[in-house]
Each structure stands twice: as C-alpha cells, then as structure tokens.
Structure 1
Amino acid sequence: MEFPRHKLYQRIAATIADAIEAGRYQPGARLPGERDLAEEYKVSRPTIREAMIALEMRGLIEVRHGSGLYVTRRNAPLRDVRELDTDVGAFELTEARIIVEGEAVALAAMSMDDAKLAELESILRDMAAEEPSEPGVMDADRRFHLAIASATENEALRMLVELLWDLRTRSPLCVTMFERAKRSGVTPRIDEHRPILEALRNRDPAGARAAMRSHLRGVIDDLLAATEHEVMARARSEIDERRSTVARRIEI
C-alpha cells in the first residue's frame, strides 16, 4: 500500500501496522530484527528505528528487556501513524540539516563580516559556559546555527534553517528520540562548532561546508549510538534482575 504524501518512516510504520491488523504479527508475537526489517522493506536501519519508535509511542509494540520488540495489540491506530504532518524523525531531520545547513554555511563564508564573526564567537562562549546538559546549551546551539543562516543574506535560507530547528521541538517523534539520546548521556557537540567558525573566519566555503557536514553527521552517529545504548541498557537490566532472582532461589 502506497502513502506518497507521507514520510518514509511513516509509510513503513503504517505498513507494519497493516501487517499487525491483518494478523501477520499476532499480539504477543516478536517482530523480526531491525536488520531483517530493513532488508525486507528496502530501507535503512535508521528509518526502521524511527518507525519502531513511532509504533512504540502509539502503543502497538513494546520493548521487552533483553528480548526484542513485541506486538501488544491488533487494533492499530493507523490514522495516528499516517496523519502527522509535522512528525519527522531525528535522523530524517538531521539529514535535511546536513543538506541545507551545509550549503548555507558555504554561502555565509562568502559574505561573512567581522561583526557576524564576533557574534558567533560570543555565542560559542555562552555555549562553553553552560553545563552540557543544561537548556542554555541548546539555546546557544540554535542561535549559532541561525546566526550563520542569517549571514547568508538569503531570507529564504534563513527561514528554512529556522523551520528545521523548530521541527526539532514540534515533532513528537523527534522530541522523543532526542530525549532518549539525552538520557543516554548525549549532549550537543560543542567542540565541533569551533572548526565551523574557523572556516568562516578564513572565508573558506569548502572548509565551512565540510566542517558543518562533519558536525551534523556526528549528531546522527550519536543518535544511533544512543538508541542502541538504550536497548542494551534494558538488556543489561533484565540480565541483572535474572541474576538476582537466581541468586535468591539458590539461597532457599
């Protein structure tokens, strides 16, 4: 079934929801692994991960510690899965930022003036003064990227970059993914902003583009590691619980 107006992860989530409703996956059944699903649906593992998180958020599936993903019910809320116009995933959003902000920073390098460089330097100082987990770091991070977009002197680009940042806090799936990453210890990559600023200071479009793309690819790596870490942490917790149970039973 095709859903051309919807995002890729939503189409995959809706297709799996259809399979649940049709009885392919019964309540209590374990879903295939992430790699197997990616191969079956011919998509990337990050897309499968976003689809699984979306289905979990809507109560169709659940994570069982150290075991995998299981179907919880068949009456799938398909409308919720398919009709979320602003619900984009963190991988999808960051991929768009790589494309848009990579070119924006290259353009900004050609028109960057000393006043804008001083503003960026001040924002980096604000960022460094905050604890990595504090909201002030995220605010400074946003201001840094929007200041670069403003320096392009292209209002359409500035608005597009601002929209991508707004989606980060408006999209339920995106918010959920970044919150999980934060719980896993992932914080903004403060040090990676310095090479971006240095390339801008040198009026080096290619260097600025490379630094921005490297920074945002690192964000994707962090998200992948964080979601994998969450699964592994659950598994370790389950193993510890089982060990404690066995130890108590042995003492009887």
Structure 2
Amino acid sequence: MFGVGKYEAPAKDRLYQRLARRLFEELAAGTYAIGDRLPAERELAIDYGASRPAVREALIALEVQGFIEVRVGSGAYVCRLPGQGEEPGFAITAFELTEARIMFEGEAAALAAVQITDAEVDHLDALVEAMTTENLLVEVTEVADRDFHMAIAKATRNAGVVRTIEDLWHLRSTSPECALLHAKARDAKVRPVVAEHAAIVDALRARDAAGARAAMRAHLTSVMDHLLFRTEEMAMEEARRALATTRQRYGGGAHA
C-alpha cells in the first residue's frame, strides 16, 4: 500500500494532480515495480479520500506520460519508473476543458440567441438531424457535433468568441490527456445526446438568451458524466466477459 504520513502537495495543484503526484512518488520510491498492477480505482479512491473521477484523471495523467498502462477490464499496470530528477507533467484535462466550455459556450449561446437568424436556426436543426444519423453509424464521429457548436459560436457575430471556441475544440485532440479520455469514450461508443442539442436549438429559436445559456450549460455539464459512465461501463463489461471466459475454461461443464 502507500507510504505512511500525510501527503503535502503544492497548494496550486488540483486534486487529480495531487493524486497523480502521490502515485508518481510511490513509483519513484520503488513501491511498485515495472509490471505491477496498481490498486483498483475504487480502492485508490478510498485510500485517497477522493472521488473516482479524480482518481481516473490522475491515472490518465500518468498514462499519457507512459508511466502506467490502463488495460480495459484488468487494471492499471506500471510500464516505467520515473528517472532521477524527473517530475510529473500535466496537460489540460477533459474535466478542465469541459469547465472552460461551460463558461465560454454557455455565454456564447446566450449571445447567439439575440443575434441568430432563422436560416441559422434551420441549419442547427439540420445538424441535429445529422447527429441522429451519425449516431446510427458503427464508427463514432463528431463532425455534426463540432459543426453544431461552431455554428452557434459564429451566430454570436463575435470573432473573438469564434476563435476561442475553435481553440477549445482543437484542445480536445491536441491535449494528450483530453485526447486519451475521448479515445476511450469513442471505444465505449459514447455519442452526442441529440435531445440535449435539440433543447439548445429550441431556446435559440425562441430567442431566449437565459434559456439558451442554461441549455448549453446543462448539456456540457452532462458531457463528462456520460464519458465517465460509459468508459466505466465498458470496463465492467470487459471484466464480466473475462470472468465468464475463465469460468468456462476452468469450470465449464463441471458438476458438483
């Protein structure tokens, strides 16, 4: 288990960073060897007195730096140990990105509500329909989803808003920690929730700025919940399959 004593981390660190640093220090101290399996996510959450989402972010931060590998249905395994003088690095996480999107895109939706044209509302309706179609495809795609959010940004008639939201979407694929979680989500078949996007369009159609802000914030707040739930659900399903295979291999057909 973990070293004795209260862990003191820099006050500027977020919770997941403190957890990642604690694990990093355990690796550097030799608590775990290459190939060792770390305690289960639930156990880490209890040991740290933290939420499972925070633990998951910490594991992702270490995974993108190559210290551990998270194997679906099996757990997190040590891949390499920190070198002398090496420090953990942190990129923008999916949680941080979503927080920023809630701030900027919520206000963008409110501004768009008083600027948007009927033609732009019709275009958003078409994009919601495109999401419905894309959700039926085997391969997960986010084309209509991205176009939807960018269309609202453009409806603000503010180039600064458009550039900011473009940059936020760019971070989804360029920040290693964001990209990793979204890749896991795609593997788990996480798709845009059509009803949430339709609610945003309804508020924009009514030129309801407060309603558009609330609908956008509600949608983005649920995004991470969906990502975490589905990736966890996928891991549980893989674990069930592995257990079933083991039972079939060693106990199948046996009678007491």
TM-score (norm 1): 0.80
Q: How does 1:156-167 map to 2 (within 5 A)?
A: 156-167=160-171
1:23 corresponds in structure 2 to 30
Structure-2 residue corresponding to 1:119: 123
Match of 2:238 in 1: 234
The answer for unaligned runs of 5 or more in structure 2 is 1-8
Residues in 1 aligned to 2:71 and 2:244: alpha-carbon distance in whole angstroms: 14
Give, as a single letter, the amino acid of the residue that structure 2 aligns with 1:49.
R
Q: Where does structure 1 lack aligned partners over 5 or more consecutive residues?
A: none
Give the 3-state SS of the residue equivalent to 1:140 in structure 2.
helix
Q: 1:45 is matched by which residue type in structure 2?
A: R
Conserved 8 A contact 2:68-2:79? yes
Match of 1:69 in 2: 76
My pick for the range that moved more, 116-125 or 179-188, is 116-125
Q: Deviations over 1:182-212 (max 9, x none)?
A: 2222111123211101101111112111211
Pick aligned residue for 2:113 from 106, 109, 117: 109
Q: Distance in 1 between matches of 2:23 and 2:130?
A: 45
Indicate the residue corresponding to 2:10 in structure 1. Answer: 2
SS in 2 for 1:111: coil
CA distance in 2, matches of 1:184, 1:53: 16
RMSD, aligned CA: 3.3
Match in the other structure for 1:222: 226
From 63, 67, 75, the counterpart of 1:60: 67
SS of 1:69's equivalent in the other structure is strand
* SS at structure 2 position matched to 1:235: helix
Pair 1:58–1:112, CA change in 2 (3 A): same
User: Letter of the aligned partner of 2:62 in structure 1?
Assistant: L
Q: CA deviation at 1:64?
A: 6.3
Q: Would the alpha carbon gap of residues 245 and 40 (structure 1) be closer, same or farther in structure 2, given more than 3 Å must change?
A: closer
Of residues 65-74 and 95-104 in structure 1, the stretch that sits farther from structure 2 once superposed is 65-74
Task: Please state how far the C-alpha of 1:225 moved relative to its aligned partner.
Answer: 0.8
Change (3 A) 1:100 1:35: farther
* Separation of aligned partners in 2, 1:133 and 1:181: 15
- Contact 1:27–1:73 at 8 Å: present in 2 too? yes
Alpha-carbon offset, residue 40 of structure 1: 5.9
With over 3 angstroms needed to count, the CA separation of the structure-2 counterparts of 1:81 and 1:134, relative to structure 1, is farther
Measure the CA separation in 1 of the matches of 2:84 and 2:247. Answer: 38
Q: What SS is found at the alignment partner of 2:76? A: strand
Kept in 2, the 8 Å contact 1:120–1:144? The answer is yes
How far is the alpha carbon of 1:217 from its aligned partner? 2.2
192-201 vs 29-38, greater mean Cα deviation: 29-38
1:31-82 alpha-carbon deviations (Å, 9 max, x no partner)? 3443554566575432321221232344423446766434344346986841
After TM superposition, give the deviation of residue 107 of structure 1 in Å.
1.6
Which deviations, in whole Å up to 9, do the C-alpha atoms of 1:117-156 show, x marking residues without a partner? Answer: 2332233333334344477951121111111112222222
**Secondary structure of 1:212's aligned partner:** helix
**After alignment, is 89-98 or 58-67 more displaced?**
58-67
Segments ≥4 residues shifted beyond 6 Å: none
Does the 8 Å contact 2:190/2:230 carry over to 1?
yes
Flag the 1:236–1:76 CA change in 2: closer, same or farther, 3 A.
farther
The one-letter code matched in structure 1 to 2:176 is: P
> Does the alignment pair 1:34 with 2:41?
yes
Distance 2:163 2:247 in 1: 54
CA distance, structure 1, for counterparts of residue 146 and residue 74 of structure 2: 38
Residue 148 (structure 2) aligned to one of 127, 144, 149: 144
Q: Is 1:92 paired with 2:96?
A: yes
Identity %: 45
